[in-house]
Structures are given as structure tokens and as C-alpha cells.
Structure 1
Amino acid sequence: MEIIIAQIINGVVLGSIYALLVTGFNLMFLVGKIIHFSYPYIVVLSMYISWGVLHITDNVILVGIVTIAGSIGMHLLIGPLFYHLNNRKSSIDINTSFIVSLGIALILTEIMSHHIHYGFPVSFPVNWLGNMTFMRINMINISKGQILTLFLSILLVLVLFLLIYRTQLGRAFRAIAESISKARLQGIPVQELNLLLFVITGLIGGIIALLLSMLLGAASPWLGDHIALKVLAVAIVAGLGNLEGGLICGLSLGIAETLIIHFLPGSWTNTIAFMMMLIVVLMRPKGIFNR
């Protein structure tokens, strides 16, 4: 029984990472109508940035600042590609945004697999890992990394939801999500807010990269593929652009994965995730939480 409880705790931690990833992904779709498939790849490349800065300076605070700045910077670099699409039409073509994002993902994978550390996976030093025990209940160990991940995940989600649903800026974002042309007629600075959207998404991505590097202790060029497919599956199951549904489904996937690994081979996790996506697409094409 204690093993099951420990697996559920691990699942909640993993699920909180998925939930943050899907939240960033869905935020881009909700406001910008962009299928940001390259989002997890930017997160993984940000992990490489963490690794590089950590080996050069061994300064934890500097690692955090540079990683988050790097993630935001990469989002600002790819932003003009989507702005170009945005300026051509009153709304972004979703299929085109997916193709552009897929191309960005392939470029980032190429960079990581051939031009960073000779394409080999990178490992983080032991002092960076968050596996030190914070709390022990009988046979159940809860690490500092798990506590930090849960705390930051909850804090980020609360701040983001307050921003979207309780501020004037959030109302402007929701107006853009409803209609870009109407938002422009109301005097809302669409281009500036699109830029801010990339900054917010990059900030979330940088924090995710720091948490993942601490929890996994390693990064590889193929990690982006592994994460991206699951994020896409969760977003489709929940309903593209549905922030609340993405949180619930991301958390559920994390718990399901850890329990499946306990009873079945680990390779089944991807299979079950995509079986869920296929069933939902057939029965509810707009997702479980979208009407």
C-alpha cells in the first residue's frame, strides 16, 4: 500500500509538470490561436542552458536567471514568425501555425542532437538534484525537489489564472482570444499583447526547465519528442485552449503514468496516452471539457 501511495505522490509531481506544460501550450492556443508544438523543445533546450551555466559558474541563482531569460529570448525570436501570419490575416491559420511550430521543433532537435555536447545526453551534478529527503512517513520519502515542484506549480497556476480572469490585462487577452479584429477596434494593442504572451509563455517554460532538470537530473535531444507528443495528446483530450481541462488532464496523466509503470512495462505509458486521445477524438472531437 505504501508503494502505491509513493507512486501516487510521484504521479502528482509528474502531473504538475505536465499540467504546467499544457497550460503554456493552451494559453498560446487560447489567445494567439497558435498550436505551439515546439514549446516542449524550447523547454528542453532551456535545460541545456541550465546545464551549461551550472558547469561554468556553479551559481544556482545565475542558473535560474539565465535559464528563464533564455527561454523568454527563444520565444521572442520565434514570435515574429507568428506575427507575420497574424498580420496577413485577421486570425492565424491554425494549420499553418502548427507547420511553422513543427519546423521550429525540428530545428531545435537538430541543434541539440548535433551541436551541443556532441549530441550526447547531459547530466546535472548531484548538488543540483532535488532528491534530498524533505519528509519521511514510514517507507514514503518526499524529496525537496518534489515539494518545490508542487509549490511552484500551484503558485504559477494561481498567478496565471488571477492574471487571465481577474485583471484588465487578462480581459484584453480574452478579448483577443474571442476576436482579433474586434479587439483592434476596441483599441487593444494586439501586437504588443502578443509579444507579452510569448514572454509569459517563455517565463513558464524556463521555470519548467529548471524543475525538470532538478527532477530528472539529465537532458537529451530526444526528451523533447517524448514530452511534446504527450502534451499534444493531453491538450487534445482536454480540449485545445481549455486551461482548466488541461490542468486536470495533465495531472491525471502523471498519476496514471506512475501507476501504469508500477503494474505494466514503461513502454505502455505512451500507448495508453494516445489510446485516450484517439477515443476522445472519435467521441468528442472538441475535447472532454470543450462544448
Structure 2
Amino acid sequence: MLEQQLFNALSLGSVYALFALGFTLVFGVLGVINLSHGAIFMLGSYVALLLVDKLSMPLPLALLAAMLVTGLIGFLVDYLILRPLRARNVPHLVPMIATIGVAIMLTNLTQGLFGTDNKRFPFGTIPEGSFNWGHLHVTAVQVGIIGISFVLMLVLLSIMRKTQLGRALRAIAESPKAAYLLGINVDGLFYLTSFAAAALGGAAGVLVGLSFNAISPYMGQPMLLKGIAVIILGGMGDIRGALIGGLFLGFAEVLTVAYISSDFRDAVAFGLLFLILLVRPSGMFGKILERKA
């Protein structure tokens, strides 16, 4: 039924949007496409799995802990790698290559520690409750994924639009030099942005792990490609665009699988992306952000 497919698409698209929000936040504020974001997404699922499996931690606490750990990893990536490159004012391609190296390192480290086989959450960890609403079958996991994703997205949007912190971040996105002259702690907010973006990526990793109950060291790469597609579709650096673009991609994939074929899922989704960009090369929401100073 169409209602069921639309609900499934909402569940998947909300995770895509959550992942892309962290991705676009780093680009919008730091001006860097952090290609280690997919590996950090993958690590979030492994952290939650270890805490649940080895320490018997409740799933909500494991989710928060995974966000904290991945946030710290994002901070370290910024402090140890991106900060020295910023200080040297290197071309934009250099941080991208550096974060590719970080992603490969994290993926290989995870592969060495846990192997390449899919891991699953222990039986009973994932809520199995469900209910029917007309022709719609809703599971507790789907409700949790949609709820958590939208809460985190709304919190981020509220911070960016209604707080002094959000105004400072928007000022840095426009011009880090001008923001510094205005007395804004630019370096501190760079670190905070990297922490928050990685935490959102880690949360998305946990939610995907719960949704499919399959965790592997290579799960970050396809999500990274989709995240890049989402932020380009929505408009580079635009948070609204990441939200709408993620939902669009989720709906395109699910409806293609349901009514065409799973073999054409990515072909149709990325084909639609291509057509939209032919009409609006800068994405759905405005022009590509550029540093002015």
C-alpha cells in the first residue's frame, strides 16, 4: 500500500537527513567537505553495539554515549588535522584528501578489531512492538528513528536560528576573519561544530544499525556518497536543504524499490538528483555559500 511505503520512506529519509545535517554543518561553518564523516557514522553504530552487548547498557544511554564518543572523534579530527591545515591556509582540496586518509584509517582499524562480518545487536535490544493503523503497519523502531531524528534536527535548527551561538556560527560561515574581528571565538566554534556534526553522524549510524540490525566496517561509504548527494541537492551549506534533500532521497529510494525494482533504486534516485541539478545547479535552496574574507 502507498501509505506503508510513504511511512517507510519517512523513516529512511529522516536518517539520511540527520546524517547530511552534520555533513553540511561542517561545510557551512568550516568550508570543508569532511570525507571522514561516513567512517564516524559507522563508528557510532559500533560504539552503541559494544555498550549494549558488553556492558548491558540501555539502548537510549548507548545512543547518547555513541554521540559523545563520535563527537570527541570529530573534535580530534578537527584539532589534530584540520586546525593545522587551516593555520597554513592550504587549498580546499588538501583537507578533503586528509579526511579521506582518516576515513581509511578508521575503517581499517574497525575491520581489524571486529572483522568484516556483519554484527547485530543482541536479541531483545531492539524493541519489537508494532501496531496497525488502517493499512499502515508501524514498528516501534520506525517510530523511534523518526522521533529521534526529527528531535535532533529541530534542536539544531532552533540553535542555529534562535540563539546567540547560532548567530555566531552564521557569522563565521559568512567570514571567519570578520567574525574574529567582532570578538567571536572562531577556533572554539570550529571545534564545537566538528563535535556536533560528528555526534549527529554517530546518532545516524546507531539508527541505521537499529533499522537494519546489520553493522559492518563498510557501512559508512555508501552513506557518505548519499550524504554528498543530499547536500548538493539541498544547496551546499544549507541546513534546510540537507533536511529536504535527505527526505527526498529516502522517498525516491523506497518508492523505486516498491514500484519499479530494487535493482534500480540508486539509478532512479541519483537520476532524479541529476535532473533537479540541471534546473537548479546550486541546489534547491539558494546559491552555494562562498567565503568572503
Q: Same fold (TM over 0.5)?
A: yes
User: Which of 95, 98, 102 is equivalent to 1:97?
Assistant: 95
Of 53-62 and 221-230, more deviation after overlay is shown by 53-62
**CA offset at residue 218 of structure 1?**
1.3
The amino acid across from 1:85 in the alignment is: L
One-letter identity of the residue aligned with 2:85: L
Instruction: Specify whether residues 130 and 255 from structure 1 end up closer, same or farther in structure 2 by C-alpha distance, changes over 3 A only.
Output: farther
Secondary structure class of the residue paired with 2:137: strand
CA contact (8 A) 1:130 1:146 kept: no
Q: Write the mapping of 1:1-291 to structure 2, written as runs, cut at 5 A.
A: 3-60=1-58, 61-80=60-79, 81-89=81-89, 93-113=91-111, 115-133=112-130, 135-291=131-287
Q: Could you tell me which amino acid in structure 1 is paired with residue 141 of structure 2? A: G
Query: Does the 8 Å CA contact 1:72/1:199 hold for their aligned counterparts?
Result: yes
SS at match of 1:148: helix
Contact 1:50/1:210 (8 A) holds in 2: yes
Deviation at 1:281, TM superposition (A): 4.6
What is the percent sequence identity of the aligned residues?
Answer: 30
Q: Is the deviation greater in 278-287 or in 219-228?
A: 278-287
Shift of residue 40 of structure 1? 2.2
Code of the residue aligned with 2:42 in structure 1: it is V
Distance 2:162 2:275 in 1: 35
SS at match of 1:142: strand
Give 5+ residue unaligned stretches, structure 2.
288-293
Q: 1:15: how far off?
A: 0.4
> Which deviates more, 29-38 or 65-74?
65-74
- How many residues align? The count is 285
- C-alpha deviation, 1:109, in angstroms: 2.1
What is the Cα-based RMSD across aligned positions, in Å?
A: 1.8
Q: TM-score normalized by structure 1?
A: 0.91
Give the residue type in structure 2 aligned to 1:76.
F
How much does 1:280 deviate? 4.4
TM-score, normalised via structure 2 length: 0.91
Closer/same/farther in 2, CA of residues 66 and 102 from structure 1, 3 Å limit: same
For 1:102-156, what per-residue CA distance to the aligned partner results, in whole angstroms no more than 9, with x for missing partners? 222222222233x1322211111231224421x3123421111111122222211
**Counterpart Cα distance in 2 of 1:236 and 1:276:** 13
Higher alpha-carbon deviation: 189-198 or 64-73: 64-73
The answer (yes or no) to whether the contact 1:237–1:276 under 8 Å persists in 2 is no
Q: 1:283 Cα deviation (Å)? A: 4.5
Q: Distance in 2 between matches of 1:262 and 1:131?
A: 23
Contact persistence 1:230–1:273 (CA under 8 A):
no
- Find the residue that maps to 2:132 and give its secondary structure: strand
